[in-house]
Amino acid sequence: MSSRRDLLSPRDYDEDAESLRSPLSDQDSDSEDDEFLARSRTTLELAEHDRTVLDDEEELEKLLTRSGPTHDIRRIFSPNRSNVRIGKKEEARRQRRRKERAARKARREKRHGDDEEMYEMEEGHPGDESSLLSSSSSDSDERIKEQYADIQDRQKVSWRKLTLVSSAIFVLFLILLLGAYKASAGFRSSHNPKTPLSNGTALFAPTTILISLDGFRADFLDRGLTPTLNGFIAEGVSPQYMRPSFPSVTFPNHFTLVTGLYPESHGIVGNTFWDPELQEQFYYTHPNVSMQAKWWNAEPLWMTAENQEVRSAIHMWPGSEAHIGGVEPTYLDQYNGSEVLARKTQRILELLDLPGLEQESLPVPQRPQFIAAYVPNVDADGHKYGPNSTEIRSTISKVDDMLADLFTGLGERNLTEVVNIVVVSDHGMASTSTERLVQLDDLIDLNLTSHIDGWPLRGIRPKRPEDLKTLQDQLERVKSQYSDAIEIYTREGMPERYHFKNNDRIAPLWVIPKTGWAIVERPEFDAQVALQNGDVYHPKGIHGYDHEHPLMRAIFIARGPAFPHPPNSRLDVFQNINVYNILCDSLGIKPHPNNGTLRLPLQPSGLHSDEDAPVLDTSSDPPATQEPTQTVAHTSTVMISSSISTTSDTESASASPSAKPEEAADDETDTDWWDSILDKVEDVKDWATDLLDDIKEEFSPAR
């Protein structure tokens, strides 16, 4: 087909229509010419009706097709036809019209906005209007067509990119949604499926064994005495240590471990305390009193399990005999402090050997899924001999051997990868000394008190409300003299991190010893007389201090199908309020509301062997005895504080500290051989005292 340069524009038709019509109408033509003339007139009428049609070659082609054979109509408009010859005037007119068309196109492009100009600039075409005017109309049209084709292609690419980006965002949203779902309770249930695991001979529903090593301080693992526990850490997942809850004593922390609650929330606020509502005293060594349900105001894990049809077996856990909530464990072993360690191992394995899901004839499986065992040996000997004694080293080794026997028994039953094992402790232990005693009688008037709670910290309850202010003032007067030994708080003023204020069982006024110190009252123990006579204070090991102190650190170690972590995984340090949730998740049961936040799966922060593992701050255990200077100086302080009741006595006593250190300086000139003899005598006294203690009572007074 001819190019547009060979055709007339609509204006050409408009101006020459008459000239074309008249000559043709006057001609005497044959029938062929008459038919051709009729088609030509139709074409001209269509062009006059819609002049814009001829601007487009495709539209022109359609028009020519409608008008008849294309070669005929082209003959009329072709410049080669003799009856439509174009002279110089016509050529000038054409050039003018081309320029006008170029100008109109430029104006249209300008009206189309900056977008077209932007695309032109991106493709390297300047947006100068003169360039359009200087080119021929056909070249301009072709360029514009190419540009618009490019724009359309790029628009298609842009939409394709937008679709891909939108799809990626949608997929990312689905991934985040799935992650949130996996973090939900539904995922935790699927993470600990209730599908039984087989050891080859029996089917085991999710099963967890919890073992508490009472008084096992975290750094006991660093003494080279615990190959089994250290190997357990290398195989499992654990933090560098676990924080107990305040106060760091046995009964509050063991109930926290199985409820996930702070002591202020579950109500067991000490080994001993007064309940103002019940008007009764809780004392942990009197089971006929302490093992009553009225004291225990929270749901322990065995109750959670039994309520969800998961059988439990509790071996001597503190509080397990209290009939809490009217729900009993399926198997319950009463406390027996004289039980040998081998019997504990045997008992746990006996429970695992009971028939379970594989016995289809049983209406209910007899094998428990949750087994909790309490091991008091390290705590008892830590109190009795001190945490740095030869005796405690032997006890630590024996407990580690007990665990070795248990793990061997699990391996023989092919249960190492079938059951979960969690080993914890409730608190640490610190050495005490006769030189680190504070006589409470010398700080306050005990006649104004009705009850004194706790140990080694002391909660003071006044007889009358107005006595509280008097007692508080008495403590404030001596506070500065004992700044190295004690801290004094009202219940409302307790540090927030203690979580120890929101319960009426917490006394209104507290004297809290610093780590390694103890508070005593006469006539149980007279600190001054003991110092003068060289008596040794018992117990030699104490806990109950600030739960964040390094010497109070506990342990948490876990291994099993609920803990699918790389061996030797290291967790961030956490508090023992989180153990309850972890245990519930390992059993596939729903925990009761609690203060814990950790849930399975646990998220390790690395390995214990990593070079970037945190370096723990440590604290040396206080010495069992003080230097002579410190001993005499402390005696002077006791003498100062003993005269609160009268001003004259206080003034006379306040002059003594300056003289006592001089006497201590003289004592330091004694010969080494004399010190050696004194040390030997002290050792004999310790041995004799320990022997008498063994005869008088079977266990330490502190548990």
Residue 634, CB-side half-sphere exposure with 13 Å CA sphere: 24
DSSP labels, 360-413: TT-SS--S-SEEEEEE-HHHHHHHHH-TTSHHHHHHHHHHHHHHHHHHHHHHHT
SS (H, E, C) 96-119: HHHHHHHHHHHHHHHHCCHHHHHH
How many whole angstroms separate alpha carbon 565 and alpha carbon 626? 47
Q: What are phi and psi for residue 143, nearest 5 degrees?
A: -65, -45
**Structure token pair of residue 10:** 């609509």
Q: 563 is written with which tokens? A: 């803990």
Q: Name the strand (E) or helix (H) holding 165.
A: helix 137-182
CB 477 within 8 A of CB 528: no
Helix (H, G, I), strand (E, B) or coil at 420: strand
Pairing mode, strands 569-571 and 486-490:
unpaired
Helix (H, G, I), strand (E, B) or coil at 573: coil
Contacts of 372 (CB under 8 A, 6+ apart): 209, 210, 211, 212, 258, 301, 302, 312, 313, 314, 315, 317, 320
Phi/psi at 417 (5° precision): -100, 10
Euclidean distance between CA atoms 336 and 320, whole angstroms: 13
| Whole-Å CA distances, 693 to 433, 571, 624, 699, 700 | 17, 42, 18, 8, 8
Per DSSP, the three-state class of 571 is strand
Residues ≥6 apart with Cβ < 8 Å to 654: 640
The question of whether 250 is a catalytic residue gets the answer: yes
Q: State whether residue 653 is helix, strand or coil.
A: helix
Cβ count near 112 (within 10 Å): 11
Catalytic residue among 250, 395, 515, 637: 250
Name the DSSP class of 313.
E
- Report residue 147 as tokens: 């540009």
Start-to-end C-alpha separation, the chain? 110
Catalogue the E-assigned strands of 6-146: none
Beta bridge partners of 453: 459
Q: Which of 282, 274, 701, 269 is nearest to 451 (CA)?
A: 274
454: three-class secondary structure by DSSP:
coil
CB 392 within 8 A of CB 385: yes
Q: Cα separation of 296 and 319, whole Å?
A: 8
350 backbone φψ class: left, alpha, beta (φ>0; ψ -120 to 50) = alpha
Strand, coil or helix: what is 610? Answer: coil
Question: What is 458-504 written as a DSSP string?
Answer: EEEEESSHHHHHHHHHHHHHHTGGGTTTEEEEESTTS-GGG---SST
Q: Is 544 left (phi over 0), alpha (psi -120 to 50) or beta?
A: left
Active site residues: 250
